[in-house]
Amino acid sequence: MSDKVTSLASGHEGTLYDQTHAYLQRLRGGEMGSLPAIFGILVLAGIFEIASPFFITKLNFANLFVQSAELAMLSAALVFVILLGEIDLSAGVTAGVAMAVFIDLVKTQHWNWIPALGAGFFAGIAIGAVIGFMVAKIGVPSFVVTLAFFLGFQGMQLVLLGEGGVYRVETPAILAIMNNNLAAWGGWLMLVIALAVSFVISLFDRARRASYGLVNKPFSMVIIKLAGMAVIGGISIYYLNLNRSQGSIPISGVPIVIPISIAILFIGTFALDRTRYGRYLYAVGGNPEAARRAGIKVVGVRVIAFIICAVLAVVSGVFHASRIGSVDGSAGHTIVLSGVAAAVVGGVSLFGGRGRLAHAAIGAIVISMIDNGLGLLQMPAGINFLVQGGVLLLAATIDALARRRGGVVSRN
Amino acid sequence: MSFDIPVIELKGVTKSFGPVDVLKGIDFSAYAGQVTALVGDNGAGKSTLIKGLAGVQPYDGGEVHFAGGIVELKSPLDAGELGIEVVYQDLALCENLDIVQNMFLGKEELKAATLNEPHMELQAVQALESLSVKTVKSVRQKVSSLSGGQRQTVAIARSVLRDAKVVILDEPTAALGVAQTEQVLNLVTRLADKGVAVIIISHNLGDVFKVAHQISVLYLGKMVATLKTKEVTYDEVVAYITGAKGQEGAN
Ligand SMILES: Nc1ncnc2c1ncn2[C@@H]1O[C@H](COP(=O)(O)OP(=O)(O)OP(=O)(O)O)[C@@H](O)[C@H]1O
Ligand SMILES: [Mg+2]
């Protein structure tokens, strides 16, 4: 590669061994990211596999993905505000209101589903903007603003849909998200695209560093990352491509929600890591006063975060409507706390400034596994809540302890 | 070096908070390549004077001359455009971001609409090296893992990166130990050697005598003395600060 032009290191130096060593040191320093959550996934899989013969079955494997996607999207939505050290307790009901708007326009106004869905998203954007304005401009604590919206919007849902109103979703495109699957080749194509995109970005980054005469990490790290993606993705797709039906009509393939979710998480991560807005979001979450003095328009950054949160929450609402096939006045009332739990369990700090969308997705898998596994064991719902509450408390404690030790190295 | 033409010169600036006159017509100058210490007892008006220069709390009256011409400092943006950078006592760094990210905060470079990290990293390293900074392990370390002195270093290097003409340091050594104070003072000297006009606020006269070329003493909102460090003794400066000297209008 290129010559080292400087005397100050950047963390890219050294062999694979050095890099591994540095990584382990970071772990010991408390920068564990979602490692505890990944460990949790393995432990839960082991426990539920022993306890229930249904847990590791092809059907349940697919179910888990589908359930996780809905929660992952809501949790990813919350990451944008949690990174600011804020919270949006109304994210779930925002989604509920947006879907109520959608179904109302389709059913009673006979709108085409596309503009109706657009109106739903527009409602989400408007709600996010109002919350953001109240928090960032007026200075009402987000906890209070969104708690008020959480209560108020439950009423709004009832007004829009009527008491006890349940409307079936009949739009094929929306139903397809959670209920239809890619053809076998589609799953493999998805993996190939993901690997290609990841590889090209790595090469691009390395070329850019090299063009400024900066050292790159050993190339073997790129290969190892791709190999890891290929193995995990390959096994999952292979498994999802097997027939998982218990009846006579075969069901197989990667649920359509998976590529949609991955694409959204990818775009969101790209925005957080590589755009000015992403940098400002982390900066405001880390030290708002420092951000302000650096000339960052803190109010704008905050308002936009609440809007992004609302929009992704509506996406999660669409997933939910697709999965259960209907919209009713109680949608989104309970999911928001699971969403917060998923983010925190996955390694997003409630103190702001630290966390990634992938953390939310991994945390969502943990929470969904608990939900799903306890359901299969036919545990009473009370046990489920107790376990989820315990897991959230544990994760938040780890977060607080890790914060005291402080992170060491950035990802760049 | 031009001792006669200051980079920045205040003429009769005033500032009041309601009925309280905090700055009562201050004259003050800082020169390129020189360290000017601003001293004075608690409440003398040092921070208020600095906030005016930084544009965060504009003066009520008086003139600000920059490089010979009259300028308006109505906002931090105005100050930034002229090349006036302030390193606040609390440093204003984001602990969750790394050194490079902090040094470029608010001034990120883009290429193809995305952050040009390698170029920013290169410039940050060069800025740190131009100040002979060797104590940081990696420029991609998060600020949360840095010591107080290292943080001060990052904050000062940030101003170099922004091509500052005037750098104002508010009590840069207040919270530091002996070795780290030494490091930061060396940094201050090197910054001036690069041609920057450095203004340093400090309560530690030992530090002031080590680095400053001249000392301006504020007493209850008035500039009571502007002295060359070489021509003055420690005790004289103390006398000005405490008001034992200079009340008869030495200025
Ligand atoms: N925003 C404000 N409103 C009212 N009075 C103020 C304000 N800011 C400063 N003052 C007053 O102005 C005077 C000078 O304050 P300033 O902070 O400039 O002093 P200082 O020299 O920096 O002191 P220290 O060494 O303690 O930092 C003090 O009497 C202070 O109470
Ligand atoms: Mg002060």
For chain B, the domain total comes to 1
What single-letter DSSP state applies at residue A90?
T
pLDDT for residue A405 is more than 80? no
pLDDT for A2: 39
Q: How far is B33 from chain A (nearest CA, A)?
A: 25
Q: What is the CATH number of the domain that holds B186?
A: 3.40.50.300
Quickly list H helices, chain B: 46-54, 76-82, 99-103, 117-130, 148-161, 178-193, 205-211, 234-242
Considering only CB atoms, which residues of chain A are within 8 Å of chain B? 5-12, 29, 208-209, 211-214, 274-276, 279, 282-283, 285-287, 289-291, 293-296, 353-354, 406-410, 412
Say yes or no: CB of residue B40 within 6 Å of ligand 1. yes
- Exposed e or buried b for every residue in A330-369, given b needs 16+ CB within 10 A? ebbeebbbbbbbbbbbbbbbbbbbbbbbbbbbbbbbbbbb
pLDDT tens-digit profile of B97-117? Answer: 999 999 999 999 999 889 999
Q: How far is B93 from chain A (nearest CA, A)?
A: 6
Q: Which ligand is nearest to the CA of B46?
A: 1
Give me the residue spans of the domains in chain A: 2-21+32-180+255-406
pLDDT for A400: 83
d(CA A96, CA A347): 27
A407:B145 CB<8 A: yes
d(CA A210, CA A217): 11
pLDDT tens-digit profile of A310-347? Answer: 999 999 999 999 999 999 888 888 899 899 999 999 99
pLDDT for residue B4 is more than 80? no
More confident: A76 or B131: A76
pLDDT for A408: 46
CB pairs under 8 A between A and B: 130
Q: What is the mean pLDDT of residues B175-180?
A: 84
What's the gap between Cα B47 and its chain centre? 11
Q: How far is A193 from chain B (nearest CA, A)?
A: 21
* Domain-located, residue B149: no
- CA B191, B192, B198, B203 torsion-angle sign: positive
* Domain-located, residue B233: yes
Q: For Cα atoms A283, A289, A295, give the angle at the middle one, nearest 5 degrees.
A: 70
Quickly list H helices, A84-183: 91-107, 113-132, 142-161, 172-179
A293:B77 CB<8 A: no
Tell me the percentage of chain A whose pLDDT exceeds 90.
Answer: 68
pLDDT for B132: 83
What's the gap between Cα A40 and its chain centre? 17
pTM: predicted TM-score of the whole model, two decimal places = 0.90
Q: Name the phi and psi angles at B9, rounded to 5.
A: -140, 125
Radius of gyration for chain B, computed over Cα atoms and rounded to the nearest angstrom: 18
Task: Provide the residue range defining the domain that includes B74.
Answer: 8-93+165-249
Q: What is the mean pLDDT of residues A234-242?
A: 95
Provide the token pair at A1: 């590669």
pLDDT for residue A1 is more than 50? no
pLDDT for residue A116 is more than 80? yes
pLDDT for B91: 73
Say yes or no: CB of residue B22 within 6 Å of ligand 1. yes
Tell me the percentage of chain A whose pLDDT exceeds 70.
Answer: 96
* Domain-located, residue B229: yes
3-state helix vs strand vs coil in chain A, percent to 5: 70, 0, 25
pLDDT for A297: 93
Provide the token pair at B50: 């600095």
Q: Give helix A357-376 / helix A257-274 axis angle, nearest 10°.
A: 150
In this structure, whether the domain defined by A2-21+32-180+255-406 belongs to CATH 1.10.3470 is answered with yes
Q: Name the phi and psi angles at B222, rounded to 5.
A: -125, 145
Q: Which ligand is nearest to the CA of B16?
A: 1
Q: What is the mean pLDDT of residues A197-220?
A: 95
* Domain-located, residue B217: yes
Complex prediction ipTM? 0.90
Question: Which residue in chain B has the smallest CA separation from A354?
Answer: B96
pLDDT for B244: 86
What single-letter DSSP state applies at residue A10?
-
**Nearest CA among B141, B191, B251, B153 for reference residue B34:** B191
d(CA A210, CA B127): 20
